[in-house]
A and B are shown apart, each in its own frame.
Chain A
Amino acid sequence: MTKKYWKGIDELKETPAFLETKGQEFTNPGSIEEFLSDENLGESSTERRDFLKFLGFSVAAATLAACEAPVIKAVPYVFKPENVTPGMPTWYASTYYDGISYASILVKTREGRPIFIKGNKDQGFTKGGVNPQIIASVLGLYDGERLTGPKVNGNDSDWNTVDAKIKASLASAGSIVFLTNSIISPSVLRAIEEYKATYAGKLEHIQYDSISYSAIRKANLQSFGASIIPSYDFSKAKVIISLDADFLSTWLLSNEYAIQYGQRRNPDGEWMSKHFQFESVMTVSGSNADQRAMTRPSDLANVLNYLISKKVGNVGVANNLSSDVKAVADAALASLASVGTQALVVCGSNNEGLQILTNKLNQLIGAYGTTIDINNTVNLYKGDDEKVHQLVSNVIAGKGPDVLLMSGVNPAYTLPNGQEFAAGLKKVKTSVAISAHMDETASQATYVCPPHHGLEDWADFRAKNNEYAIAQPTIRPLHKTSSTLESLLVWLGKTGRGGKDSKVAYDYITATYAQMGLVDFNFAVHNSCTPVLSKETAPLTFKEVQVAGLPKASDLEVVLYQKAAIRSGEYANNPWLQEMPDPITKVTWDNYITMNPKEMEAVGYATTYDQENGLSLATLKVNGNSVTLPVYPMPGQALKTVGVALGYGRGANGEKIGKSAFQTKEYGGYVTDENGNSKPIGANVFSMTKFENGTYNYYNSGSISSADGEYIIAATQIHHTVMARHSIIRETTLGIYKNNDKEAYNPAHTLQKLDEHGKHVNVPVGEFDLWEEHPVEVVGHRWAMTIDLSSCIGCGSCLIACQSENNVPVVGKDEVRRGREMHWLRIDRYFASDEEATIGTRKSDDIDYDNAEHPSLNPKVVHMPMMCHHCNHAPCETVCPVAATTHSNEGLNQMTYNRCIGTRYCANNCPYKVRRFNWFNYPSYKKFTEVNPAQDDLGRMVLNPDVTVRTRGVMEKCTFCVQRIQSAKLKAKIESRKVEDSDFATACSEVCPTDAIIVGDWNNEASVVHKSSKEIRAYQALEEVGIKPNMWYKVKVRNEENKELAALQHTSSPH
């Protein structure tokens, strides 16, 4: 806990005047524009001379402003709080749960401010697995548009009033419904039980997930008689068959699965899993699959049936699979045959029938007990679609309950019939929304009670039966918000409000803890979680059931998927996530219709795009609703399907859901529609989901027609293939890798030279050097990194972690479109072209470059994290006229911001193009007020004080988190020992779920990075340029058969 310092009595009282001027740095109107734009200028007695004064002033001001970076003062502690040493971070073990993602986390606080979140590798079943949303959630804490206190009918109020009113209406209510997201908090559940006791018969608790998985529970109810979601273990599965399940990015506990998956993607490991993906939209999982089939939702059943029938053994079964899908299916069967029960089938569809088939296949394989643990069930995703649907129809019909309490849900946005629901909500006598923002639902509710941010709150969780976890506060509540648990208890009349330092929730949680028979709460808090011995449950037995209501085929199947960053819209107000390039399309700040380029060419849609050339707009019609969005050429998209991402179009009616959730104009400010509301980013397609066979389904049939005009999208990558450049991407198959020597798939770049006998010999380029080396090897440290392209799944966690750690500015759509995103770490995504045997390996010596620019119909994909390589012969360093970028004697390529004069020569001369230039003054220029968190006082609190905020006109780039290196060295020095691997990790490597990124001291022979760089798969991108990078990549190994490649990589080494 720490004290909060007020700027003055105004902030303490939060007077309107203060709140209004809070955002802006200079409160007094100083600029000539403002002066002139003042409409009653006419009346004002402004003389010409005054005008000249203004002019003179503003010119002078502008000049000065241009010359000096604004100075922001830091106020030191007057009394040092205990446990806070200025300059030293304090780490808290905690737990993250937002209704969608769950993880055991570590929170880094500086001077009492949480500034960084990473996974907790030592505690909890998530084993340190996090996703971009979890890392970025720290920014949400400082969101300027979070509600700061309760509201009644949209007007500010105070807790006492609100509590009184809600209590009253609860008491008088004939029927009460709690509509919440999946609640995994034993304490909250206990509290709700108490409600049920108090309001016996009157109260119903319905759980609702924005993205429903209830089909799995229903299917298991059918197959096993228990409505459960089992634990999957991808680390035990030698064969993974995924049907439309993006289990690495958005499906269920993807952050847990990613970790397990990563353990088995290392070709040097004991064995490497083989991953088959049947999907329509190319997802992160699909991009990592060893074999991927373009499959329409309506074909999934066929695939399952085919696999099942073959598995059962009745050969010659009639199937209507297209040849290429069948090929993949057969391959899957082949490898299934060889691995026995160590296989896993997962299905992402929310169709009960499909899930039953999936269960059946898993049963046939014998996955239950090996890769699937049905005893240790997952308590998340308890949404019950049928109940929700019933409630919603009642509410719409005006037959809703007297009191409707909604917590952690936003049905007005996430329901297919959200609009009607919002209208119906008005008819409900008393509606209470526990919501952090005035979102689509809350803005319709009678009472809005903002909860604490997860980092401000005590909470307990039981995500899985065998584990109990605790979230502890890492900062004193910033606003007059209240713990949800506390509110519930207060309204139950159990207790009163505890104010900012309330212990209500804490006491209740400790009580629950004790009731569960667990001991030593403090130790549990210290670890953030503790195991729970689940009592033996009766063994579940599988029973055959009839399957009905499978997805039906249609001319155009519309797939509604989640993007890795925005998911189902909860994070639409987080600028980091909005600007995170989609792992596959690399598009930021928008959703779009994905379609296979082949089909687009047929219709005449634009298939290329850049800064000035947009994509064709098209109107998608699905059961009456229609949206007009740009059509994105998505290679690998199943033919006769289109995809649209959910989670966009938030705040369509101007709801205040966050500063960065709306479209901004080229020179700052929001794009507004005719009635003055800020235009939302993208379009909401939840209206296209459908309730069918008792579940919400995320596919539908529709029709698409081209709309006039084009739409410019902001993508960080406008070229999609690697042009068969083998020294950038090296890929091989497991077979080739196991049976051939290095030369076959990872040949060294060699040059001829005369040896001492005057003979011509080929030696690696590394041995050539024009001049005497500066001592970087052996002497002192040499920081280096290796990235394993086999392990990297392209999830984007590293990118967000880097942004959070290094104060990387957010620049907004218009700047990204201009190719000026500031991410120090980017993830290059390459599709295979028809000219390549596999990515980076040309089929023949002379290739058709035009053809090589176009991805194949269903291309292989490689994700390549790309950041500064800290070259020992850095081309960027030699060209800087003022020696602003030089080489440290620890092998780092240092960037001296305050020496930089901004010639950009270094960026031009960087072969990897990883240098980023401050085109504008991001922390103050008006264009970025809406998007860059560093521009408002609250948002600025997320900045890492160890890292300079760069000013306009200077170059910046990845530093290998030099601030962490320094503290690691200090730590080691204090303990008078050498720096070890455990002392130091960059932000990106720390959060990597698959440990693809390894950093350390290369000069320390024992270090992991040194060993890793010596492995036979290790190579340096663009090695032949002779820049001697301190970074190695490791050959991507795909677990597939590739005859073409085998032919090339066996005989001679390709170039």
Chain B
Amino acid sequence: MQKEAAIREPLILGHKTYHDVTEDVCRPIEDKAPRMWYILFGIALIIGLYGVGCIMYLLGTGVGVWGLNKTIGWAWDITNFVWWVGIGHAGTLISAVLLLFRQKWRMAINRSAEAMTIFAVFMAGLFPLIHMGRLWVGYWTLPLPNQFGSLWVNFNSPLLWDVFAISTYLSVSVVFWYIGLIPDFATIRDRAKKRVSKKMYSILSFGWSGRAKHWNRFELVSLVLAGLATPLVFSVHSIVSFDFATSVVPGWHTTIFPPYFVAGAVFSGFAMVQTLLLIMRKAMSLEAYIHTKHIEYMNIVIMVTGSIVGTAYITELFISWYSGVEYEAYAFLNRATGPYWWAYWAMMTCNVISPQLMWFRKLRRSLMFTFFISIIVNIGMWFERYVIIVTSLHRDYIPAAWSMHYPSHIDIGVYIGTIGLFFVFFLLFARYFPVLALNEIKTILKGSGQSYKESPEYHKHH
């Protein structure tokens, strides 16, 4: 077992034993859910159902119910898609990349972060589907020889790359997440009193019994999956950015997009994790496991990625002028000073200015402030995508075709709806799944647990 320096702040506060850990994590699952949970769940469900209703109307009537037009073929739909995918990056990044870098502090947050990732990617995946004019033939995007003879898909199309990227990312994240869940389900199973839940969890836990051999494989599989997931994380948002980067639309056709999108994704992803965790640790009294240290670490990540994003914005502006390309130059001038200036400056403030405040130790360790910023950042990131998509399209090459975009109430309904659905899923997760990676926490209990660090035995070792 690894030792670590005494000066390092413990990752687990309080004098916890293995059993306490189990207790803390399993309690919310075994107790009755608090009234608050039901209220939140109810609200989320209603919003979610409204969104589903909007989607039904959309599918029944036609894409025309959105505010799109001949010039602006994508607006809120793809904005939301990219936004959700972005959010969906934190989870895998935290668990995979940080696992590779042996960042122990990840263990407290990776489980819920991954859950968030998966639900976010669900929501993201929804938009490319419903934005199609003919969803019922959407399966033509798969390389199937169809009734029209040997007609295949077009592998040159970034949209097709998306199909593969998103589906791969989603399924691999699910696998990664679930494999980690199995042993913890086993724990719950073995504690379960009620027959039903015992049955349920024993099915979920695949009959895990924690043999040494299994643990051995378990660790390797986690490592390899992490190894695979890491490039995946980066590839997915790069490919999403290709949708724009490979086009000819001024403001889209930009080589800087892949890194810039990935950074943005991590940026918004971490912000979302912050938002959720800060609520969860309170609601489920996990302060001992998710505390200031973790928040601070994440804030640092947000600050760094935020700065990268900011740099990207400035670079774009500079290049648009430096390139001397008339359309490029105008596209960016128009972003900042055109009819959609408010969106651009909202983006700038939220994404570039606000994260810089994290330089102040006091602020980045303040939970309230963190919560506030995390919301701001996600608003900002939504605007970033809106700016990129809409303000580039609405005034491109041919002035006669220039146009404005006004969202319809269906646009709004679908977006809000996905947020509702997202929380429906997340609340269910928080209620029925172990929100911390039990087995992982236990492995570091000694290494980084406060109790251990204070114990004489620990000091004897040094």
Contact = CB atoms under 8 A, between A and B. Distances in A.
B404 A901 contact: no
A66 B67 CA distance: 20
B154 A1025 contact: no
A954 B133 contact: yes
Given A908-B247, A917-B63, A67 B136 contact: yes
A902 B151 CA distance: 17
B74 A904 contact: yes
B330 interface: yes
B278 interface: no
Nearest to A726: B326
A843 to B, nearest CB: 15
A415 interface: no
Contacts of A815: 64
Interface string A599-631: 000000000001110000000000000000000
B70 A66 contact: no
Given A66-B59, A725-B326, A882 B132 contact: no
B141 A879 contact: no
Contact of A879 (B67, B247, B393, B403): B247
Contacts of A918: 62, 133
Interface in B143-189: 148, 151-154, 156-160, 163
A920 B133 contact: no
A881 B247 contact: no
Contact of A899 (B151, B243, B247): B151
A899 B396 CA distance: 28
A1027 interface: yes
Contacts of A849: 330, 333
B153 A902 contact: no
Contacts of A725: 326-327, 397, 399
A672 interface: no
Contact of B63 (A819, A830, A919): A919
Contact of B69 (A820, A911, A1022, A1025): A820
Question: In the complex, which of the residues B73, B247, B403 has the most CB atoms of chain A within 10 Å of its own CB atom?
Answer: B73
B71 interface: yes
Given A819-B403, A882-B153, A917-B73, A912 B398 contact: yes
Interface string A882-916: 11000000000000001111111101110111011
A903 B131 contact: yes
B63 A908 contact: no
B214 interface: no
Nearest to A817: B69
A518 interface: no
Question: In the complex, which of the residues B134, B159, B163, B247 has the most CB atoms of chain A within 10 Å of its own CB atom?
Answer: B134
A821 interface: yes
Interface in A909-933: 909, 911-913, 915-921, 925
A717 interface: yes
B68 interface: yes
Contacts of B148: 898-899
A973 interface: no
A881 B400 contact: no
Contact of A723 (B138, B152, B156, B399): B399
A828 B62 contact: no
B323 interface: no
B61 A920 contact: yes
Question: In the complex, which of the residues B69, B133, B153 has the most CB atoms of chain A within 10 Å of its own CB atom?
Answer: B133
B458 interface: no
Interface residues of B, number: 56
A826 B70 CA distance: 12
B318 interface: no
Nearest to B243: A905
A919 B398 CA distance: 22
A169 B128 CA distance: 72
Contacts of A728: 397-399
Nearest to A722: B399
A532 interface: no
Interface in B391-437: 393, 395-404, 406
B196 interface: no
Nearest to B157: A881
B192 interface: no
Contacts of A925: 61-62
Contact of B133 (A717, A909, A911, A917): A917
A953 B249 contact: no
A525 interface: no
Given A611-B406, A919-B62, A829 B400 contact: yes
A879 B159 contact: yes
B456 interface: no
Nearest to A1025: B248
Chain A interface SS verdict (over half): loop
A324 B161 CA distance: 61
Given A719-B400, A1027-B248, A903 B132 contact: yes
Contact of A62 (B60, B247, B398): B60
B248 A904 contact: no
A875 interface: yes
Contacts of B249: 908-909, 911
A528 to B, nearest CB: 38
A883 B137 CA distance: 14
B372 interface: no
Nearest to A826: B400
B218 interface: no
B346 to A, nearest CB: 20
A916 B133 CA distance: 12
Given A62-B60, A879-B247, A903-B159, A828 B400 contact: yes
Contacts of A917: 63, 68, 70, 73, 133
A718 B399 CA distance: 9
Nearest to A919: B64
B78 to A, nearest CB: 9
Contact of B70 (A722, A880, A881, A907): A907
Contacts of A878: 154, 156-157, 246
B64 A920 contact: yes
Contact of A611 (B330, B395, B402, B404): B404
B140 interface: yes
B398 A901 contact: no
A721 interface: yes
Contacts of A830: 399-400
A908 B393 contact: yes
Contacts of B67: 818
B127 to A, nearest CB: 11
B105 to A, nearest CB: 41
Contacts of B70: 819-821, 907, 913, 915-917
Interface string B111-137: 000000000000000001001111011
A913 B401 contact: yes
A881 B60 contact: no
B218 to A, nearest CB: 38
Contacts of A723: 330, 399
Nearest to A882: B140
Contact of A904 (B68, B330, B399, B401): B68
Given A722-B400, A820-B69, A911-B248, 14 more contacts: A610-B404, A723-B399, A815-B64, A818-B67, A826-B400, A830-B400, A878-B154, A881-B157, A901-B133, A903-B133, A904-B63, A911-B249, A916-B70, A921-B62
Interface of A: 62, 66-67, 610-612, 717-719, 721-723, 725, 728, 815, 818-821, 826, 828-830, 849, 864, 866, 875, 878-883, 898-905, 907-909, 911-913, 915-921, 925, 952-955, 1022, 1025, 1027, 1055
Interface of B: 59-64, 67-74, 128, 131-134, 136-138, 140-141, 148, 151-154, 156-160, 163, 243, 246-249, 326-327, 330, 333, 393, 395-404, 406
Give the top 5 A-B pairs by smallest Cβ distance, nearest first: A902-B133, A953-B133, A919-B64, A819-B69, A904-B73
11 contacts: A815-B64, A818-B69, A828-B398, A829-B400, A830-B399, A878-B154, A878-B156, A902-B63, A902-B132, A904-B133, A919-B68
